[in-house]
Amino acid sequence: MNKPTRAPRVVISGAGVGGLCLAQGLRAHGIDVAVYEADRTADSRLQGYRLRIDEFGRAALAACLPERLYALLEATSNRLYMPRGVTYDEQLNELGAHRPAGTPLDPARASMVVNRRTLRQVLLTGLREVVHFGRTVVGYEAAGDTVHVRFADGASEAAEVFVIADGINSLARQQRLPHAQVLDTGLRGVYGHMALDAEALSWIPPELLGGSRPVLGPDRRTLALGVFRPRTPIPEAVRRHAPEAELDPVGDYLKWTLVAPAEGYPVPEDELFAAGPLQLHALATEMTEGWHPVLRRMVARAHRESTFALSIRAVPLPERWEPSRITLLGDCIHATTPVGGVGANTALRDAALLSSHLATAAERGTHPVAAIAAYEDAMRGYAHQAVQGSLRGAETVFRARRLAGV
Ligand SMILES: Cc1cc2nc3c(=O)[nH]c(=O)nc-3n(C[C@H](O)[C@H](O)[C@H](O)COP(=O)(O)OP(=O)(O)OC[C@H]3O[C@@H](n4cnc5c(N)ncnc54)[C@H](O)[C@@H]3O)c2cc1C
């Protein structure tokens, strides 16, 4: 390896949670970075759900974001809480919990909940000149110390380090690690959300308003509930912490995700994914018939036009690979199921770790591939645990067929 004398130019594929956090972290260390995103604009997709950010995600964001942007993110998130892992049956009888109610708040281990779109908008703040929308990365060519990142439009871009962060369907990952597999859990979900206004608060039991609340119904149907209630109204948080940030106002909401095996839906799979939001909402209504009236009401009150369907897939960590100037982070290399809320946290943890290793290498003048090797070594350990834990969680909460370790 030749010893470089300056920071490498880093190109990132994908302006998702992980790619943007990495870009923020690298910029904080003065490293030249460019991010290429397939979506035409930041608003191309709904990006509309809540994310639990655990202690690792919080630490990663605090490390990568400028202080005032992290303060903005905290202000636009739910209050810190201790996840309890409480579950209910479809008549809202409590089935069990990992932690008892009233567990004292331990700030070092607590979680916060962010609105995914708000998180992305915070992460995009200050990166306008760095993030290029409407650019689909299709692969790369490595030539000596340079990587030529290739785009769908035929153009290419030179980098000294290329980070693949473009999610579960990544094309560049298929080139870098052709042996990596996407695991279809066989589970499908229908997502909906409703406004959490004063009227809704009058009939929703307060114990359902904490962290994630999975309701384990019959026929392996699960309705996972969760709320987003920012500590500070978003426009006020922007004014107070970072007036330059462009955040859409978002009101309090309650989301539900109905999860069932594909064969447990009353329609064939192709119809599920061809269905419009109103049909999906009608399906969710039909599949929760006879459930507790509060749950039925949550489904009935949803903003029907925003209902969407999703497949639950994962990427178990592939066999060890040789480090190079082309590395990976986030869902493209270790996608998890939603159980436990760890996917984004693991992507954020990757971003903080990789930016810190690359920054140290730049400061010391050591080779970026050595930094990447150290990052990949550590990432493999915690990411393997995250994926396998989420697969075991899917077996318990969604009552999926055996997934972990397969
Ligand atoms: C319903 C649901 C709830 C979830 N809840 C939680 C939670 O509570 N906590 C948690 O930690 N995780 C949660 N997750 C998981 C979390 O959303 C993901 O793990 C996280 O978004 C992964 O980040 P990423 O940056 O790797 O990928 P992504 O966020 O998927 O970003 C990838 C980006 O790459 C872009 N892209 C794709 N292809 C290309 C291409 N060829 N070229 C350029 N750009 C491309 C995409 O448009 C996208 O912007 C949840 C997921 C779902 C579906």
Residue pLDDT, tens place only, 181-223: 999 999 999 999 999 999 999 999 999 998 889 999 999 999 9
Picking from 281, 255, 236, 191, the residue whose alpha carbon sits closest to that of residue 52 is 255
d(CA 172, CA 19): 14
Average pLDDT of the chain is: 95
Q: How far is the CA of 344 from the centre of ligand 1 (A)?
A: 7
> Among residues 226, 46, 228, 40, which one has the least CA distance to residue 120?
46
Tell whether 406 is covered by a domain. Answer: no
Q: Spell out which residues line ligand 1, taking CB within 6 angstroms.
A: 13-19, 36-39, 49, 51-52, 136-137, 165-167, 171, 191, 257, 310, 330-331, 338, 341-345, 347
What is the model's pLDDT at position 64? 98
Judged on CB neighbours under 10 Å (0-12, 13-18, 19+), 16 is buried
Is 5 inside a domain boundary?
A: no
* Structural domain contains residue 32: yes
Ligand 1: which residue has its CA nearest to atom 29? 16
Ligand 1 centroid to 17 CA: how many Å? 6
| Residue to mutate (ligand 1; options 78, 151, 166, 348; most atoms within 8 A of CB) | 166
Is 292 a member of any domain?
A: yes
Instruction: Give residue 100's pLDDT.
Output: 85
Q: Is residue 148 domain-resident?
A: yes
Domain coverage including residue 240: 10-397
In a domain, 3, yes or no: no
Beta bridge partners of 113: 52
How many structural domains does the chain have? Answer: 1
- Amino acid 45: pLDDT: 65
What pairing do the DSSP bridges indicate for beta strands 183-195 and 253-261? antiparallel
**pLDDT value at position 240?**
98
In a domain, 106, yes or no: yes
Q: How far apart are alpha carbons 406 and 400 in whole angstroms?
A: 13
What pLDDT, on a 0 to 100 scale, did the predictor assign at position 1? Answer: 46
* Sign of the dihedral through C-alpha 38, 41, 46, 50: positive
Q: Residue 328 is inside which H or E element, if any?
A: strand 326-328
pLDDT for position 5? 44
State residue 356 phi and psi, 5-degree precision.
-70, -40
Tens-digit pLDDT profile for residues 2-60: 444 456 699 999 999 999 999 999 999 999 999 999 999 888 766 568 999 999 999 99
- Stretches where the chain sits below pLDDT 70 are 1-8, 45-48
CATH value at residue 134: 3.50.50.60
Do the domain assignments include residue 211?
A: yes
What are the start-end ranges of the E strands in 183-283?
183-195, 213-216, 222-228, 253-261
pTM for the structure as a whole: 0.96
Which long-range CB contacts under 8 A does 145-154 form with residues at least 24 apart? 145/2, 145/4, 145/325, 147/11, 147/325, 147/326, 149/11, 149/13, 149/36, 151/36
The closest-lying atom of ligand 1 relative to the alpha carbon of residue 39 is 47
Task: State residue 366 phi and psi, 5-degree precision.
Answer: -90, 170
